[in-house]
Chains A and B, each alone.
Chain A
Amino acid sequence: MNDLFSYADYGELLGLVHNSLIAAALLGVVGGLVGVFVQMRDMQFAVHGISELSFAGAAAALLLGINVSLGSVLGSLLAGGLIGLLGVRARDRNSVIGVLMPFGLGLGVLFLALYKGRAANKFGLLTGQIVSVDTVQLGWLVSVSVVVLVGMAVIWRPLTFVSADPDVASARGLPMGLLSVAFTLLLALAVSLAVQVVGALLVLSLLVTPAAAAFRVTASPVLAPLLSAGFALVAAVGGILLALGGSIPISPFVTTISFLIYLVCRGLSSHRVRAGWGRRGPVAAVDDGPALALR
């Protein structure tokens, strides 16, 4: 009766997707950590815009017969660079993205239409193809992940400052423009990873949803990134493990797990707000009396 799910040869299948599991775990960690700043800097739309150009780059690579990962990275970096340079302010940024995104998507569709190869390759770029990660591709994914993780570690604290508190950070002399461009480029690399794993259309499920869920349940700057990375990892790896037993692609599993985690966190947060967060007495009056005499 069950032709969608069959877990008969599961052990054997697991061996085959060994590479994919590593890729998904890495992507989870990278996406979850980068997602923290996507959320703080309101860059959800940028994630979507970059992923469309990354898709165009990958489609161009497919057409030209070169490394698809390279194409995806180049497309992402181009988009990230343009967004970083042209749109430092949020409003400019959104209009730049709105202009770039349909252009990138259109190019990608054109390249795919010209491509005469396997149809699965085409579809995979949009909705994910993780089950087919080979060793060469895994090498790429690992290298790009390491670059992103190291880069994020270096700019973590100043980026937190400028993202949460731009007025004071700028008064304290932090290099706002440099940090903005650096983060956008790291974000672009993370997006290109995600495009190759879950596909251009579903990148948000690993770069936005986990962090949004984590922010619902903690305000600790240490716990929030850890939870976000954990949620993304569970969604990505869990999605593959579930998809193995059936004929459905992995993307719906990843997005559904991600969404369920978010719903649970929302539920927890409304409970927490009702219960009160932090103990506070009435605002204390300043002890040394009111009016001080005019000298």
Chain B
Amino acid sequence: MSGSAAPVLAARGAALAFGDRVLWSGLDLDLAPGEFLAVLGPNGAGKSTLLKAVLGQQPLSAGDLLVDGRPPGRGSRSVGYVPQQKSMDAATPLRARDLVGLGLDGHRWGMGRRSAADRRRIDEALHAVGAADYADAPIGLLSGGEQQRVRIAQALATDPRVLLCDEPLLSLDLRHQRAVSEMIDRRRREHGTGVVFVTHEINPVLDLVDRVLYIANGQHRLGTPAEVMTSETLSALYGTPVDVVTVHGRIVVVGTPDHAGGPCEHHEQPVDDVRRPVGSVAGAGR
């Protein structure tokens, strides 16, 4: 992760505000190839909005942003995007391989057949995330963990320089959280893909993270986890006493205003990672 290579993502004095409400400002960031950046902060702090800015969906209020040396453009192949896991309709007429294929050519007009090269690429992407076994299964019948693997294959099919992940572990059980984050880790090590990983829970990826961008109250701190995840830094950021304690290697933040009375970095109850039968209502039986 040396600073010598050109950054895959660079921000200079970047700011984003809606009217008077400043989400973040004065953001200076160089994301090196293969670097893993976790973006943390309370709900509404502007974590996802940062991803939108990189995707070219949200213009900055001030400053500059360069993605792979160019201003953010809609539909850039340099950027891969992994959304939150959302259960897809069980009757969606797409197989896992088709979802990956749409990541490759879904923007092209028409309905022509995919080239052999594209089909090979799709197979490789599925294989790389261990999803080859269910490549031909309907996407709506896959479990949440399986769907997230397919989504990572989809995001990586265009061989992006930057991979944006918006809470990709949400609603996955611990085993799948681990598998999915290690898949992302392997990719950035082997291909030098820069990773921007938005999450409200750093622990599942704590040992993978190079740097943390913590956004709160219209301000931010950028540094290694050891620098940012401290009582002093977060107390200054929130403007109120916050305790950061380490319990069995897990970081627990206590006393942030948005989670008064409890640890802030808690996670939703793990959801049973079961395959849904056709016709079941999403969410039922959980």
Binding site for B on A (CB under 8 A): 36, 39-40, 153-158, 160-161, 164-165, 167-174, 212, 214-216, 218-221, 224, 269-270, 273, 277-281, 283-286, 288, 290-295
CB of A173 within 8 A of CB of B75, answer: yes
| Proximity string of chain B (72-86) to chain A, C-beta cutoff 8 Å, 1 when within and 0 when not | 011110010101101
Return the chain B residue nearest A290 by Cβ.
B178
- Additional pairs, 5, CB under 8 Å, beyond known A165-B102, A293-B207: A39-B93, A171-B81, A172-B106, A215-B91, A220-B93
How near does chain A come to B49, taking the closest CB pair, in angstroms?
A: 13
- A-B contacts, 8 of them at CB < 8 A, read A158-B107, A167-B86, A171-B79, A172-B75, A173-B57, A173-B73, A174-B107, A281-B133
Question: Which residues of chain A come closer than 8 Å to B135, judged between CB atoms?
Answer: 278
How near does chain B come to A48, taking the closest CB pair, in angstroms?
A: 19
Complex Cα distance A197/B72, Å? 50
Which segment of B14-22, B136-144, B239-247, B260-268 sits at the interface?
B136-144
Return the chain A residue nearest B75 by Cβ.
A173
Complex Cα distance A155/B106, Å? 10
User: Which listed residue, A169, A286, A292, touches B106 by the CB 8 Å rule?
Assistant: A169
Question: Which residues of chain A come closer than 8 Å to B2, judged between CB atoms?
Answer: none
CB of B75 within 8 A of CB of A219, answer: no
Return the chain B residue nearest A227 by Cβ.
B93
A286-B186 contact given A158-B106, A174-B107, A277-B141, CB 8 Å threshold: yes
Question: Which residues of chain B come closer than 8 Å to A155, judged between CB atoms?
Answer: 109
CB of A283 within 8 A of CB of B145, answer: yes
| Proximity string of chain B (98-125) to chain A, C-beta cutoff 8 Å, 1 when within and 0 when not | 1100110111111100000000000000
Complex Cα distance A165/B93, Å? 12
Max count, chain A CB within 10 A of own CB: residue among B102, B141, B154: B102
Return the chain A residue nearest B111 by Cβ.
A156
Return the chain A residue nearest B56 by Cβ.
A173
CB of A294 within 8 A of CB of B207, answer: yes
Question: Which residues of chain B come closer than 8 Å to A157, judged between CB atoms?
Answer: 102, 105-106, 108-111
CB of B107 within 8 A of CB of A219, answer: no
Question: Which residues of chain A come closer than 8 Å to B183, judged between CB atoms?
Answer: 286
Complex Cα distance A169/B99, Å? 11
Return the chain B residue nearest A153 by Cβ.
B111
B60 within 8 A of A: no
CB of B185 within 8 A of CB of A285, answer: no
CB of B106 within 8 A of CB of A161, answer: yes
CB of A280 within 8 A of CB of B110, answer: no
User: For window 129-165 of chain B, which residues contact chain A by CB distance below 8 Å?
Assistant: 130, 133-141, 145-146, 151, 154-155, 164
Question: Which residues of chain B come closer than 8 Å to A294, judged between CB atoms?
Answer: 206-207, 225
How near does chain A come to B37, taking the closest CB pair, in angstroms?
A: 14
How near does chain A come to B153, taking the closest CB pair, in angstroms?
A: 12
CB of B93 within 8 A of CB of A224, answer: yes
What total count of A-B pairs have CB within 8 Å? 150
CB of B207 within 8 A of CB of A292, answer: yes
Return the chain A residue nearest B52 by Cβ.
A171
User: Which listed residue, B81, B92, B138, B186, touches A40 by the CB 8 Å rule?
Assistant: B92
Return the chain B residue nearest A39 by Cβ.
B91
Complex Cα distance A273/B138, Å? 11
B198 within 8 A of A: no
Question: Which residues of chain A come closer than 8 Å to B208, judged between CB atoms?
Answer: 292
Q: Would you list the 10 A-B pairs with minimal beta carbon distance, nearest first?
A: A173-B75, A278-B137, A173-B74, A219-B138, A161-B106, A156-B111, A224-B93, A171-B81, A215-B91, A167-B83
B248 within 8 A of A: no
User: Which listed residue, B93, B111, B179, touches A214 by the CB 8 Å rule?
Assistant: B93
CB of B99 within 8 A of CB of A295, answer: no
Complex Cα distance A157/B81, Å? 19
CB of A174 within 8 A of CB of B106, answer: yes
Complex Cα distance A39/B90, Å? 12
Return the chain A residue nearest B82 by Cβ.
A168
User: Which listed residue, A36, A170, A292, touches B57 by the CB 8 Å rule?
Assistant: A170
CB of A164 within 8 A of CB of B74, answer: no
CB of A158 within 8 A of CB of B109, answer: yes
CB of A277 within 8 A of CB of B106, answer: no
CB of B106 within 8 A of CB of A221, answer: no
B66 within 8 A of A: no
Return the chain B residue nearest A174 by Cβ.
B107
How near does chain B come to A254, taking the closest CB pair, in angstroms?
A: 23
B94 within 8 A of A: yes
B277 within 8 A of A: yes
Complex Cα distance A167/B277, Å? 24
Question: Which residues of chain A come closer than 8 Å to B56, judged between CB atoms?
Answer: 173
CB of A270 within 8 A of CB of B110, answer: no
User: For window 41-59 of chain B, which residues contact chain A by CB distance below 8 Å?
Assistant: 55-57
Max count, chain B CB within 10 A of own CB: residue among A39, A164, A215: A164
